Amino acid sequence: MANPVEQALQEGCIVGLANYTILIARNGDEFAIDDSAAPIRASDSQVIGAVMVFHDVSHTRSLSRQLTWQASHDALTGLVNRHEFEYHIEQAMNQAKMHNQQYALCYLDLDQFKIVNDTSGHFAGDELLRQVTALFQSQVRKTDTLARLCGDEFGLLLNQCPLEQAQRIANTLREKVQEFRFVWQDKLFTIGVSIGLVIIDAYSQSITNVLSLADAACYVAKNRGRNRVHVYQAEDLDLARQQGEMQWVTRLAHALEENRFRLYYQSIVPVSQTELSGEHYEVLLRLLDETGIGVTDSVYSGG
């Protein structure tokens, strides 16, 4: 690196060092500094010397590093957050396509977590999440990426990991959580974890797609009794059914926002003499599709 004082003397202008310069004191202490060297001129504009100024920016850079960390990590567990996790998945997908590698994506959802929150409060829930995080970290490799996605849901990206190895790791995590006991104020809790597993390879479509498949596979694991691992397969009927149900949730929400529900009723009239008296009717709740033409009926019969 060029000497900034010599450069200022030779060029006759202010010279600054590269960003993130560190000044090391005699006792070994390090200080982050901004610095510059400027020429000193005589009354006739001749350069007669130079001055170098150091400005301690340790606090500023510490805050900057802290903000950068907070933008990509979960404050409670210290794990990477969903946004950063998606970036790691994107990198894995690129590597898988370029080098024909396999990665594994696990979607983990804690079972019985709500019981802890409801009976012992959110402080207990937070402590449980921290302890489960430590448990997960003890079982994964340094090259893997563990994230807290939201609430009691975690993501795990297994680096260069074929399906068989990924299943072993996922089942080990499941067993460790099953053996784990959480104690809070003399209360003992047992939990489990449902895990959805999908392989990332050269044929994976998108970040949204692989996350959706892993999430849906996790729900299948829950629907099959919880505390188990479900692996996505291309012809997975349970997964297809689960995805269909999840899509209906979105469709119904959009229909409510767009006021596409219609209420109808029609009389129920007996075709033969009956002892029943009074009026009877059938109520139909109709859902118009996005075109406003097709309908889906839900029926209620009553008197």
Indicate which residues carry an active-site annotation. 152
Neighbours of 290 (CB within 10 A): 11
Amino acid at 278: G
Distance CA 197, CA 211 (A): 10
3-state secondary structure of 32: strand
Contact (Cβ atoms closer than 8 angstroms) between residue 103 and residue 204: no
Distances (CA, A) of 302 to 143, 230, 235, 278, 296: 62, 42, 42, 11, 20
**Residue 175 and residue 83 in contact, taking contact as beta carbons nearer than 8 Å:** no
The total of other beta-carbon atoms located within 10 Å of residue 76's CB is 13
Q: Note the maximum CA span of the chain.
A: 122
Give DSSP secondary structure letters for 160-201: T--HHHHHHHHHHHHHHHHH-EEEETTEEEE-EEEEEEEEE-
